[in-house]
Amino acid sequence: MKTKIFSTTILGTGLLTVATLYGCGGAEKKEEKTEKAVTIATFDLKKDKLSTQLNLPGELIALQQVDLYAKVSSFVKTLKVDIGSEVTKGQLLMTLEAPEMTSQLSASQSRIKSQEAIYTASKANYNRLYETSKTPGTISTNDLDQALARKNSDLAQLEAAKAAYKEVGAVQDYLTIRAPFSGIISARNVNLGAYVGPTGKGSDLPIFTLQDQKNLRLAVSIPELYTGYLKAGDEISFTVKSLPNQTFKAKVKRLSGALDLRLRSERVEMDVPNKSKSLLPGMVAEVKIPLPANANTFVVPKKALLDTSEGLFVLKSENNKTIRVAVKKGREADDRIEIFGDLNEGDKLVAEPSEEMHDGTVVKS
Protein backbone atom coordinates (compact mmCIF):
# COMPACT_ATOMS: atom_id res chain seq x y z
CA MET A 1 0.00 0.00 0.00
CA LYS A 2 2.73 2.46 0.77
CA THR A 3 4.34 1.85 -2.57
CA LYS A 4 1.11 2.56 -4.53
CA ILE A 5 0.50 5.83 -2.75
CA PHE A 6 4.03 7.04 -3.53
CA SER A 7 3.58 6.33 -7.27
CA THR A 8 0.29 8.17 -7.40
CA THR A 9 1.85 11.19 -5.75
CA ILE A 10 4.69 11.31 -8.23
CA LEU A 11 2.32 10.96 -11.19
CA GLY A 12 0.07 13.73 -9.89
CA THR A 13 2.98 16.07 -9.32
CA GLY A 14 4.30 15.44 -12.86
CA LEU A 15 0.94 16.15 -14.49
CA LEU A 16 0.66 19.36 -12.47
CA THR A 17 4.10 20.49 -13.62
CA VAL A 18 3.33 19.77 -17.27
CA ALA A 19 0.05 21.62 -17.04
CA THR A 20 1.76 24.60 -15.46
CA LEU A 21 4.45 24.75 -18.18
CA TYR A 22 1.85 24.40 -20.92
CA GLY A 23 -0.21 27.20 -19.43
CA CYS A 24 2.78 29.56 -19.22
CA GLY A 25 3.83 28.89 -22.83
CA GLY A 26 0.35 29.61 -24.09
CA ALA A 27 0.25 32.92 -22.25
CA GLU A 28 3.57 33.97 -23.74
CA LYS A 29 2.39 33.18 -27.27
CA LYS A 30 -0.78 35.16 -26.71
CA GLU A 31 1.20 38.19 -25.58
CA GLU A 32 3.42 37.97 -28.68
CA LYS A 33 0.40 38.04 -30.97
CA THR A 34 -1.09 41.17 -29.34
CA GLU A 35 1.11 44.29 -29.71
CA LYS A 36 0.44 47.00 -27.19
CA ALA A 37 -0.64 50.33 -28.71
CA VAL A 38 1.61 53.32 -28.02
CA THR A 39 0.11 56.67 -27.05
CA ILE A 40 1.75 59.50 -29.02
CA ALA A 41 1.06 63.15 -29.83
CA THR A 42 0.08 64.01 -33.41
CA PHE A 43 -0.82 67.15 -35.33
CA ASP A 44 -2.60 67.97 -38.57
CA LEU A 45 -0.36 68.90 -41.50
CA LYS A 46 -1.09 72.40 -42.83
CA LYS A 47 0.33 74.72 -45.46
CA ASP A 48 1.87 77.99 -44.41
CA LYS A 49 4.07 80.82 -45.70
CA LEU A 50 7.59 80.81 -44.28
CA SER A 51 9.56 84.06 -44.57
CA THR A 52 13.18 83.72 -43.54
CA GLN A 53 16.44 85.62 -43.58
CA LEU A 54 19.67 84.29 -45.06
CA ASN A 55 22.95 85.36 -43.45
CA LEU A 56 25.99 85.13 -45.72
CA PRO A 57 29.48 86.66 -45.86
CA GLY A 58 30.10 89.18 -48.63
CA GLU A 59 33.04 91.20 -49.92
CA LEU A 60 33.17 94.94 -50.54
CA ILE A 61 35.17 95.87 -53.63
CA ALA A 62 35.74 99.15 -55.45
CA LEU A 63 33.26 99.90 -58.21
CA GLN A 64 36.23 100.79 -60.41
CA GLN A 65 39.84 99.73 -59.85
CA VAL A 66 42.81 99.82 -62.19
CA ASP A 67 46.53 99.03 -62.01
CA LEU A 68 48.60 101.58 -63.93
CA TYR A 69 51.77 100.53 -65.79
CA ALA A 70 54.22 102.39 -68.01
CA LYS A 71 53.55 101.92 -71.73
CA VAL A 72 57.20 102.29 -72.75
CA SER A 73 60.47 101.48 -71.04
CA SER A 74 61.59 104.63 -69.23
CA PHE A 75 62.65 106.18 -65.93
CA VAL A 76 60.50 107.96 -63.34
CA LYS A 77 61.09 111.71 -63.62
CA THR A 78 58.46 113.22 -61.28
CA LEU A 79 55.82 111.88 -58.89
CA LYS A 80 52.78 114.07 -58.38
CA VAL A 81 50.73 111.85 -56.03
CA ASP A 82 51.20 109.28 -53.26
CA ILE A 83 49.18 106.70 -51.33
CA GLY A 84 45.89 108.21 -50.18
CA SER A 85 45.91 111.04 -52.71
CA GLU A 86 42.47 111.86 -54.06
CA VAL A 87 42.65 112.56 -57.79
CA THR A 88 40.24 113.59 -60.54
CA LYS A 89 39.84 112.20 -64.02
CA GLY A 90 42.67 113.35 -66.32
CA GLN A 91 44.89 114.60 -63.48
CA LEU A 92 48.66 114.19 -64.02
CA LEU A 93 50.02 111.47 -61.75
CA MET A 94 53.66 111.20 -62.87
CA THR A 95 56.05 111.95 -65.72
CA LEU A 96 58.64 109.64 -67.24
CA GLU A 97 61.70 110.27 -69.35
CA ALA A 98 63.21 108.22 -72.15
CA PRO A 99 66.20 109.94 -73.90
CA GLU A 100 65.92 107.75 -76.99
CA MET A 101 62.36 108.97 -77.48
CA THR A 102 63.57 112.57 -77.73
CA SER A 103 66.13 111.54 -80.35
CA GLN A 104 63.47 109.71 -82.36
CA LEU A 105 61.21 112.75 -82.26
CA SER A 106 63.99 115.05 -83.51
CA ALA A 107 64.84 112.61 -86.29
CA SER A 108 61.21 112.50 -87.37
CA GLN A 109 61.02 116.28 -87.52
CA SER A 110 64.18 116.43 -89.66
CA ARG A 111 62.79 113.76 -92.01
CA ILE A 112 59.63 115.80 -92.50
CA LYS A 113 61.58 118.92 -93.41
CA SER A 114 63.73 116.97 -95.85
CA GLN A 115 60.72 115.41 -97.56
CA GLU A 116 58.99 118.79 -97.74
CA ALA A 117 61.98 120.25 -99.62
CA ILE A 118 62.10 117.33 -102.05
CA TYR A 119 58.37 117.50 -102.68
CA THR A 120 58.50 121.27 -103.22
CA ALA A 121 61.23 120.83 -105.88
CA SER A 122 59.48 118.01 -107.73
CA LYS A 123 56.16 119.87 -107.64
CA ALA A 124 57.78 123.04 -109.07
CA ASN A 125 59.48 121.02 -111.80
CA TYR A 126 56.21 119.42 -112.82
CA ASN A 127 54.39 122.71 -112.87
CA ARG A 128 57.05 124.25 -115.19
CA LEU A 129 56.91 121.29 -117.54
CA TYR A 130 53.16 121.40 -117.57
CA GLU A 131 53.05 125.09 -118.49
CA THR A 132 55.68 124.55 -121.19
CA SER A 133 53.80 121.55 -122.61
CA LYS A 134 50.94 123.85 -123.52
CA THR A 135 53.09 124.95 -126.47
CA PRO A 136 52.91 122.07 -128.97
CA GLY A 137 56.18 120.22 -129.63
CA THR A 138 58.13 121.62 -126.67
CA ILE A 139 57.74 118.82 -124.01
CA SER A 140 57.18 115.18 -124.72
CA THR A 141 54.30 113.39 -123.03
CA ASN A 142 56.72 110.89 -121.49
CA ASP A 143 58.73 113.60 -119.72
CA LEU A 144 55.57 115.15 -118.37
CA ASP A 145 54.32 111.78 -117.05
CA GLN A 146 57.66 111.06 -115.34
CA ALA A 147 57.60 114.48 -113.64
CA LEU A 148 54.05 113.83 -112.40
CA ALA A 149 55.00 110.41 -111.04
CA ARG A 150 58.04 111.87 -109.24
CA LYS A 151 55.88 114.56 -107.68
CA ASN A 152 53.33 112.01 -106.44
CA SER A 153 56.08 109.78 -105.06
CA ASP A 154 57.65 112.64 -103.15
CA LEU A 155 54.23 113.59 -101.78
CA ALA A 156 53.75 110.02 -100.52
CA GLN A 157 57.15 110.10 -98.84
CA LEU A 158 56.21 113.36 -97.14
CA GLU A 159 52.93 111.89 -95.83
CA ALA A 160 54.82 108.83 -94.52
CA ALA A 161 57.28 111.09 -92.68
CA LYS A 162 54.39 113.00 -91.09
CA ALA A 163 52.74 109.72 -90.00
CA ALA A 164 56.00 108.55 -88.46
CA TYR A 165 56.27 111.83 -86.58
CA LYS A 166 52.72 111.42 -85.23
CA GLU A 167 53.53 107.90 -84.13
CA VAL A 168 56.60 109.01 -82.23
CA GLY A 169 54.59 111.91 -80.76
CA ALA A 170 51.89 109.49 -79.59
CA VAL A 171 54.48 107.32 -77.89
CA GLN A 172 55.92 110.47 -76.35
CA ASP A 173 52.51 111.07 -74.74
CA TYR A 174 52.92 107.77 -72.88
CA LEU A 175 55.64 109.44 -70.82
CA THR A 176 52.91 111.24 -68.88
CA ILE A 177 50.51 109.08 -66.82
CA ARG A 178 47.10 110.50 -65.99
CA ALA A 179 44.14 109.26 -63.95
CA PRO A 180 41.57 107.41 -66.12
CA PHE A 181 38.81 108.20 -63.60
CA SER A 182 38.36 110.03 -60.28
CA GLY A 183 39.37 108.07 -57.21
CA ILE A 184 42.03 107.47 -54.58
CA ILE A 185 45.57 106.16 -55.02
CA SER A 186 45.63 103.00 -52.90
CA ALA A 187 49.12 101.77 -53.84
CA ARG A 188 52.42 103.21 -55.13
CA ASN A 189 55.29 100.87 -55.96
CA VAL A 190 58.00 103.12 -57.48
CA ASN A 191 60.30 105.95 -56.48
CA LEU A 192 62.03 108.74 -58.39
CA GLY A 193 64.58 107.44 -60.89
CA ALA A 194 63.14 103.91 -60.94
CA TYR A 195 63.20 102.02 -64.22
CA VAL A 196 59.68 101.11 -65.35
CA GLY A 197 58.10 99.55 -68.38
CA PRO A 198 55.31 97.30 -69.59
CA THR A 199 54.37 94.29 -67.45
CA GLY A 200 57.32 91.90 -67.24
CA LYS A 201 59.81 94.49 -68.56
CA GLY A 202 60.96 96.25 -65.44
CA SER A 203 57.58 96.41 -63.68
CA ASP A 204 56.49 93.29 -61.85
CA LEU A 205 54.16 95.49 -59.78
CA PRO A 206 51.97 98.32 -61.08
CA ILE A 207 53.19 101.89 -60.67
CA PHE A 208 49.89 102.94 -59.07
CA THR A 209 46.61 101.32 -58.09
CA LEU A 210 43.64 103.65 -58.46
CA GLN A 211 40.28 102.92 -56.79
CA ASP A 212 36.91 104.60 -56.88
CA GLN A 213 36.08 104.39 -53.16
CA LYS A 214 33.04 106.67 -53.21
CA ASN A 215 31.10 103.91 -54.93
CA LEU A 216 31.55 100.30 -53.87
CA ARG A 217 30.02 97.03 -54.90
CA LEU A 218 29.05 94.25 -52.51
CA ALA A 219 29.57 90.76 -53.95
CA VAL A 220 27.77 87.75 -52.44
CA SER A 221 27.58 84.10 -53.54
CA ILE A 222 24.01 82.81 -53.13
CA PRO A 223 23.68 79.01 -52.67
CA GLU A 224 21.73 77.17 -55.36
CA LEU A 225 18.81 76.49 -52.98
CA TYR A 226 18.06 80.21 -52.56
CA THR A 227 18.76 81.61 -56.05
CA GLY A 228 15.06 81.83 -56.90
CA TYR A 229 14.24 84.23 -54.07
CA LEU A 230 16.29 87.27 -55.21
CA LYS A 231 15.73 89.65 -58.11
CA ALA A 232 17.13 93.00 -59.24
CA GLY A 233 15.96 95.86 -57.02
CA ASP A 234 15.56 93.82 -53.81
CA GLU A 235 16.95 95.60 -50.74
CA ILE A 236 19.37 93.90 -48.38
CA SER A 237 21.19 95.03 -45.23
CA PHE A 238 24.71 94.33 -44.04
CA THR A 239 27.18 95.11 -41.27
CA VAL A 240 30.98 95.20 -41.06
CA LYS A 241 33.24 94.34 -38.13
CA SER A 242 34.81 97.78 -37.88
CA LEU A 243 31.37 99.42 -37.45
CA PRO A 244 29.30 96.79 -35.62
CA ASN A 245 26.65 99.29 -34.46
CA GLN A 246 25.82 100.53 -37.95
CA THR A 247 23.58 98.78 -40.46
CA PHE A 248 24.02 99.63 -44.14
CA LYS A 249 21.52 99.22 -46.95
CA ALA A 250 22.06 98.20 -50.57
CA LYS A 251 19.96 97.09 -53.54
CA VAL A 252 20.56 94.12 -55.79
CA LYS A 253 21.94 95.47 -59.06
CA ARG A 254 23.48 92.58 -60.98
CA LEU A 255 22.87 88.81 -60.99
CA SER A 256 25.27 86.58 -62.88
CA GLY A 257 22.47 84.30 -64.07
CA ALA A 258 24.71 81.21 -63.79
CA LEU A 259 26.12 79.00 -61.06
CA ASP A 260 29.78 78.84 -60.18
CA LEU A 261 30.82 75.27 -61.04
CA ARG A 262 32.99 74.96 -57.93
CA LEU A 263 30.74 76.53 -55.30
CA ARG A 264 27.36 75.81 -56.94
CA SER A 265 26.29 79.34 -56.16
CA GLU A 266 25.25 82.47 -58.08
CA ARG A 267 27.25 85.69 -57.80
CA VAL A 268 25.06 88.67 -56.92
CA GLU A 269 26.31 92.26 -56.72
CA MET A 270 24.84 95.34 -55.02
CA ASP A 271 25.93 98.96 -55.49
CA VAL A 272 26.84 100.69 -52.23
CA PRO A 273 27.18 104.52 -52.15
CA ASN A 274 30.11 105.46 -49.91
CA LYS A 275 30.36 109.25 -49.97
CA SER A 276 31.63 109.36 -46.39
CA LYS A 277 34.25 106.67 -47.21
CA SER A 278 33.50 104.91 -43.93
CA LEU A 279 33.59 101.62 -45.82
CA LEU A 280 36.78 100.40 -47.45
CA PRO A 281 37.35 98.06 -50.39
CA GLY A 282 38.31 94.59 -49.18
CA MET A 283 36.10 94.61 -46.08
CA VAL A 284 34.16 91.43 -45.29
CA ALA A 285 30.47 92.12 -44.67
CA GLU A 286 27.82 90.09 -42.88
CA VAL A 287 24.94 90.24 -45.34
CA LYS A 288 21.32 89.70 -44.27
CA ILE A 289 19.16 88.70 -47.23
CA PRO A 290 15.36 88.50 -46.72
CA LEU A 291 13.77 85.47 -48.35
CA PRO A 292 10.02 86.12 -48.67
CA ALA A 293 7.62 83.22 -49.10
CA ASN A 294 6.78 82.72 -52.77
CA ALA A 295 4.05 80.08 -52.27
CA ASN A 296 2.28 78.03 -49.62
CA THR A 297 4.29 74.99 -48.56
CA PHE A 298 4.09 72.42 -45.80
CA VAL A 299 5.70 73.77 -42.64
CA VAL A 300 6.29 71.54 -39.60
CA PRO A 301 8.19 71.76 -36.30
CA LYS A 302 11.77 70.56 -36.57
CA LYS A 303 11.06 67.90 -33.93
CA ALA A 304 8.66 66.23 -36.37
CA LEU A 305 11.56 65.20 -38.63
CA LEU A 306 13.18 61.80 -38.23
CA ASP A 307 16.80 61.97 -39.39
CA THR A 308 18.18 58.46 -39.98
CA SER A 309 21.07 56.89 -41.84
CA GLU A 310 18.60 55.99 -44.59
CA GLY A 311 17.39 59.57 -45.07
CA LEU A 312 14.95 62.13 -43.74
CA PHE A 313 11.42 61.02 -42.85
CA VAL A 314 8.19 62.04 -41.13
CA LEU A 315 5.83 59.53 -39.53
CA LYS A 316 2.25 59.69 -40.76
CA SER A 317 -0.49 58.13 -38.65
CA GLU A 318 -3.04 56.30 -40.80
CA ASN A 319 -5.62 53.81 -39.44
CA ASN A 320 -3.82 53.93 -36.07
CA LYS A 321 -0.56 52.75 -37.64
CA THR A 322 2.57 54.67 -38.54
CA ILE A 323 3.88 55.07 -42.09
CA ARG A 324 7.31 56.49 -42.84
CA VAL A 325 7.26 59.13 -45.59
CA ALA A 326 10.53 60.31 -47.14
CA VAL A 327 10.80 64.10 -47.35
CA LYS A 328 13.23 66.80 -48.38
CA LYS A 329 13.70 69.92 -46.31
CA GLY A 330 13.61 73.50 -47.49
CA ARG A 331 14.11 76.73 -45.59
CA GLU A 332 14.32 76.93 -41.81
CA ALA A 333 13.12 79.60 -39.42
CA ASP A 334 13.58 79.24 -35.66
CA ASP A 335 11.99 75.87 -34.78
CA ARG A 336 10.02 75.46 -38.04
CA ILE A 337 11.07 74.00 -41.38
CA GLU A 338 9.65 73.51 -44.87
CA ILE A 339 9.23 69.92 -46.08
CA PHE A 340 8.47 68.43 -49.48
CA GLY A 341 7.22 64.89 -50.02
CA ASP A 342 4.25 62.64 -50.77
CA LEU A 343 1.98 64.37 -48.28
CA ASN A 344 -1.47 65.95 -48.30
CA GLU A 345 -2.95 68.72 -46.25
CA GLY A 346 -4.71 67.32 -43.19
CA ASP A 347 -2.43 64.27 -42.78
CA LYS A 348 -1.77 63.40 -39.15
CA LEU A 349 1.96 63.44 -38.37
CA VAL A 350 3.73 62.23 -35.25
CA ALA A 351 4.93 65.26 -33.31
CA GLU A 352 8.14 63.72 -31.94
CA PRO A 353 9.06 60.48 -33.73
CA SER A 354 11.90 58.18 -32.69
CA GLU A 355 13.91 55.55 -34.53
CA GLU A 356 12.15 52.80 -32.52
CA MET A 357 8.98 53.65 -34.44
CA HIS A 358 8.76 51.79 -37.72
CA ASP A 359 6.16 51.16 -40.39
CA GLY A 360 3.13 49.54 -38.83
CA THR A 361 3.65 50.64 -35.26
CA VAL A 362 0.24 50.68 -33.56
CA VAL A 363 -0.44 54.11 -32.11
CA LYS A 364 -3.25 56.01 -30.51
CA SER A 365 -3.38 59.75 -30.13
Range ranked top by mean pLDDT from 99-108, 177-186, 203-212: 177-186
Domains of the chain: 38-51+295-364 (2.40.420.20), 54-63+212-291 (2.40.30.170), 67-178 (1.10.287.470)
Q: Report d(CA 202, CA 353) in Å as an integer.
A: 71
Residue-wise DSSP of 251-285: EEEEEEEEE-TTT-EEEEEEEEE-TT--S-TT-EE
Q: Cα–Cα distance between 277 and 215 in angstroms, integer?
A: 9
Contact 212, 63 (CB under 8 A): yes
Residue 121: predicted pLDDT: 92
* Range 287-312 average pLDDT: 83
Q: In which element (H, E) is residue 339 found?
A: strand 336-341
CB 18, CB 293: distance < 8 Å:
no
CB atoms within 10 A of CB 240: 18
Which tens digit of pLDDT belongs to each residue from 90-104?
A: 999 999 988 777 777
Which pLDDT band holds residue 183 (cuts at 50, 70, 90)? Answer: very high
Segment 32-73, tens digit of pLDDT: 445 566 678 888 888 887 777 788 999 999 999 999 988 888
Three-class secondary structure assignment of 219-240: EEEEEHHHHHHCCCCCEEEEEE
State the pLDDT at residue 262.
Answer: 84
For residues 7-14, give the mean pLDDT: 39
pLDDT tens-digit series, residues 116-140: 999 999 999 989 888 888 888 788 8
